[in-house]
Structure 1
Amino acid sequence: MQEIGSVRESGKWERGFRMEDIINKAIVFAANAHKGAVRKGSKLPYILHPLETGVIVSAMTNEKEVIAAAILHDVLEDTEVTYEELKREFGKAADYVCAESENKRRELPAEATWKIRKQETIERLQQETCLEIKMIALADKLSNIRSMYYDYNKLGDALWERFHEKRKEMQGWYYKSLVKALEDLNCYLAWQEYKMLVERVFGEE
């Protein structure tokens, strides 16, 4: 296995790069893509979130391409990595990432587009028939709500100041809507934990 530092230079993968395990390759790729980024309201490296997302997905499926896609799920939204680069390196896993990615509308202020972006995510997941894509979305949101629950217990309503949408009721609308949109996965502990934490942070319906 190659060392992380030798894998990518000037934003491009070396032609000689080979790795038997697509999951390990995804970890290296994501770590480089998110290098220097931190979690909101924290000094923790951002890569911890994609890694946790991958671990959560691995409890629902053994499919390596799906687990790799979970680890890579934010590279198209939040980094300079392109779909073409991801497709070249990861094949089908790139399609899972693309299907799960949100249209950020980067030309507009994030707070101005928050509701329409979240509404699109809810509707897309309601209509989604691919359980693997839903697994990645669930794992992503479970990782987020775990952090949110922990921080909410420490900070209370001051927590919402770190987000583009600062109204707790709107955050609650989004997270509660995803409980229903992802209900196809209610046989998994991840969905059950997600629902429980959403109710603890935002209250029951």
Structure 2
Amino acid sequence: MKDTDIQTIYQKTIDFAAEKHGQQKMPNGLPYIVHLSNVAMEAFMVHQYKQDFDLKLAIQLALLHDILEDTNLSFKELKDDFGNTVAEGVLALTKDDKLDKKDQMDDSLNRILDLSKEVAIVKLCDRITNLQKPPKKWGNAKIKKYHFQAIKIAQKLKGKNDYLDNRINKKIEQYKLYL
């Protein structure tokens, strides 16, 4: 993407994501694009506190982070539209469904650590956004697993951004209410 204006990048990327995610919904019934927008908002807020990362890249990653996992868009199509850096970042944020479910998060976190800090920042923003009241259909085992994964994400990505380190740890502590 050749545009350098953050508003233009945001609009083009969110339009693309909304089209590809189509009618997909969040567990609470809202359009999925709301989740993507919330992750992008976390990235904007982080940048208010510490501008030591490329906000334009982080916004693109935030809005596209689930596109390979949840749509039929191919890596090649994503790369053709947004370039290699964005496509590789989104790929790292995507769980590899060829692996056992128990190994998918560790694999993704390891791939995230091999890339720029923006990818790690988006993973932290995503989990912070998701550490809300769990869906009613989730059982206690799933809630505990999600909490444990959040702790693992916070530990593995610690040091990528001090503001997010504090924010995710507070959200993890608050999430204990649902255990």
TM-score with structure 2 length normalisation? Answer: 0.79
Distance verdict in 2 for CA 1:186–1:89, change over 3 Å: closer
2:148 corresponding residue in structure 1: 173
Distance verdict in 2 for CA 1:159–1:122, change over 3 Å: farther
Give yes or no for contact 1:83–1:98 (8 Å, CA) kept in 2: yes
Distance verdict in 2 for CA 1:124–1:96, change over 3 Å: closer
Pick 1 or 2: higher relative contact order, CA cutoff 8 A, min separation 6: 2
**d(CA) in 1 for partners of 2:115, 2:73:** 27
Measure how far apart 1:47 and its partner are. 0.8
Give yes or no for contact 1:122–1:177 (8 Å, CA) kept in 2: no
Residue range with higher mean Cα deviation, 59-68 or 129-138: 59-68
Structural RMSD (CA): 2.6
Deviations 1:36-94 (A, max 9, x none): 11112x11111111111112112334531221121111000110011111111111322
> Does 1:66 pair with 2:58?
yes
Residues paired across the two proteins, number: 166
Trace 1:37-76 onto structure 2 (pairs within 5 A).
37-40=24-27, 42-59=28-45, 60=47, 61-76=53-68
Trace 1:67-146 onto structure 2 (pairs within 5 A).
67-91=59-83, 92-105=85-98, 113-125=100-112, 127-128=113-114, 130-145=116-131
**d(CA) in 2 for partners of 1:72, 1:132:** 13
Q: Which has the larger radius of gyration?
A: 1
Choose which of 5, 19, 24 in structure 2 pairs with 1:32: 19
Structure 1 vs Structure 2: percent identity of aligned residues?
25
2:172 corresponds to which letter in structure 1?
A: V
Measure how far apart 1:173 and its partner are. 2.0
**d(CA) in 1 for partners of 2:160, 2:146:** 22
2:169 corresponding residue in structure 1: 195
Q: Which runs of 5+ in 2 are unaligned?
A: 48-52
Measure how far apart 1:123 and its partner are. 4.1
